[in-house]
Structure 1
Amino acid sequence: MKPIRKVFDNELPLSLLLDYKETKSQQRELPDHQHHWYEIVYVYRGKGTFFIDQTFYEMRQGDVIVVPGNTVHRGFPDKEEPVTSSAVFFSPDLVHNHAFSEVYTYLKLFDTAKKNKQYKYNLSPEHAKILQNDIDAIHGEWEQKYPDGGQAMTLQLHLMLLHLNRYCLPQSAGLDAPNALVPDWFREALAYINDHLNGPLELSALAKRAAVSPAHFSRVFKQRLGMNATDYISTKRIFAVKDGLLQSKDKIEHIAMTCGFESMPHFYRTFKKYTGMTPAAYRKGSRPH
């Protein structure tokens, strides 16, 4: 399924938007999408999964996820303990036009995340409190609506980015070595899988296409994504099925087949394994009433 492009309201008084302490639900989450603005997600409590740039991350309290502009992503809140988070969206113009931008790279964490394919970081309680205060300050300025509130929010955004660089970049230090960079064949394999979910995706064929051994293919997958290639493909297919169940009235079997499941018993077992319910129950329970 092709990602949608989210466009921010041109009528906003400032190129910055804050979704403050929202508890997420499956009905309100967008499918795979991207936008020109940058995004910072901070998790207060709850559980979920975040998909970004072909990678899955578990979301827990104290996690920060940074989303560079034009990067495909989506959130999957847990059904029983949904994530409560704040999301800060901002135009890069707010950073590039700042007077100090030539001597300090506020977007360094985003650039590093994109290079190393590492988008999630976990803050210590002390650092998490500082980031929460940054978010609260932006929210407070938005609520007060002072004449100079836009300037205050912009300055607070820069302070937040400085804090994130300070607390999160050390977690990326071990990934800066050349041998830790994502190989081109791996990126191409992820893109190929994403574009061919409805067809056969055998490990041996994927490894041959990447010109590496199946063992090496599997090892790199596990190292980079925390799951093997088979589980990754199954997860992507189940997410595609979930979108199909909510966005169409097609029969369940038809949706499963178009998402690459050739055996219906295998599909039903896999769907129950990943969601804890049947496809029919998911469709009935997740659609808005």
Structure 2
Amino acid sequence: MNTYRKTFKFDAEFPFEYKYRDATSAQFELPNHVHDWYEFVYIYSGRGTFFIDHSFYDAEAGDIYLIPGNTIHHSYPVEDDPKRATAFYFSAAFVHDTSSVGEPFHYLQPFETAQSKQSFRFTVPEAYRNQIVDLIEQIHHEYSEEKVGYRQVIRMHIQHILLLLNRHAEETWGESLLRHQAAALPQWIEQTLSYIDSHLEEELGLAIFARNSAVTPAHFSRVFKRLTGMNVTEYVTAKRVMRAKEMLRLNDRNIAQIAEACGFGSIPHFHRKFKALTGMTPAQYKHSL
């Protein structure tokens, strides 16, 4: 299963979409996918598994998932008890506020915390959770009614949700906000996913992973694809492209240097894989920033 690039249809002045209290069966779930927008997910009920970046989570009622842009993720619902959730998708510009009003705070901080901690599932006390659910309902009402100023109200409610998450993180020093991944994974899979992240510039492949994990290549391949939804080559390529996007955004290296740093053997191969996953060449992507 190839990694899928999710795109959004939106007004350029209102970069926001959402799914409200949606219960999706496995056959209609998107495959492993990435997008540039930020994603907020609230679980009301049901069961399932999230695969985000290189972590697996058992979804439970009350869970909140914050998925930064350019993060590989996928959801696996349980057929006899599919999870019901609301998801918001928005660009960084949608919640950006240029006025700091004298304090070091920005609305994307919870996503940055999730990224830095490599833990994307959040849990908050009931009082915060009730406020967040109420704000979700208000967003849905505003979007449905489309009264004058509804876009501004939706943006303010999204900002309020992110403020509540950030405030709780500050109150608890981050200890009770983040919940770690499900522990039912084979240890060698966890170690391999971490190894890939830290060795993208090196030669990576099934034979290396199987040897490091002390399992046969056939067994490794079977378990890896069952858990991640991708074969080894697809996963490594997707991670390399995501790393390249980050480097294109954050540093001044040229495209050849970035290709080499991300483990691509040649510039044409880098261009081909980058465009297949992002819809743009590396140069076009850098120019769009």
Helix, strand or coil: the match of 1:27? helix
Amino acid across the alignment from 1:119? F
Helix, strand or coil: the match of 2:14? coil
2:117 aligned partner: 116
Question: Aligned pair in 2 of structure 1 residues 92, 47: CA closer, same or farther (>3 Å)?
Answer: same
2:194 aligned partner: 187
Could you give the per-residue CA deviations for residues 211-248 of structure 1, whole angstroms, max 9, x where no partner exists?
xxx9xxxxxxxxxxxxxxxx99754321567x7xxxxx
Aligned length: 214
> Within 2, Cα distance between the matches of 1:121 and 1:233?
31
> Conserved in 2, the CA contact under 8 Å of 1:116 and 1:175?
no
Helix, strand or coil: the match of 1:39? strand
1:45-124 mapped onto 2 (5 Å cutoff): 45-100=45-100, 103-124=104-125
> Within 1, Cα distance between the matches of 2:24 and 2:193?
32
Could you give the per-residue CA deviations for residues 234-264 of structure 1, whole angstroms, max 9, x where no partner exists?
54321567x7xxxxxxxxxxxx9x99xxxxx
Looking at both structures, which has the greater relative contact order when contacts are Cα pairs under 8 Å and sequence separation is at least 6?
Answer: 2
In structure 1, stretches of 5+ residues that fail to align are 177-183, 208-213, 215-230, 244-255, 260-289
Amino acid across the alignment from 1:172? G
How far does residue 124 in structure 1 lie from its aligned partner after superposition? Answer: 2.7
Per the normalisation by structure 1, the TM-score is: 0.63
Amino acid across the alignment from 1:162? L
> Within 2, Cα distance between the matches of 1:235 and 1:16?
36
Amino acid across the alignment from 2:71? T
> Conserved in 2, the CA contact under 8 Å of 1:121 and 1:171?
no
> Within 1, Cα distance between the matches of 2:26 and 2:3?
17
Question: Aligned pair in 2 of structure 1 residues 191, 83: CA closer, same or farther (>3 Å)?
Answer: farther
1:194-273 mapped onto 2 (5 Å cutoff): 199-200=206-207, 205-206=211-212, 235-239=223-227
CA RMSD of the aligned region, Å?
3.6
2:242 aligned partner: none
Could you give the per-residue CA deviations for residues 159-195 of structure 1, whole angstroms, max 9, x where no partner exists?
011011123463734899xxxxxxx9963435879x9
> Within 2, Cα distance between the matches of 1:161 and 1:174?
16
Could you give the per-residue CA deviations for residues 132-159 of structure 1, whole angstroms, max 9, x where no partner exists?
0111111111011012111111111110
Runs of 4+ in 1 over 6 A off after TM superposition: none
Identity of aligned residues (%): 28
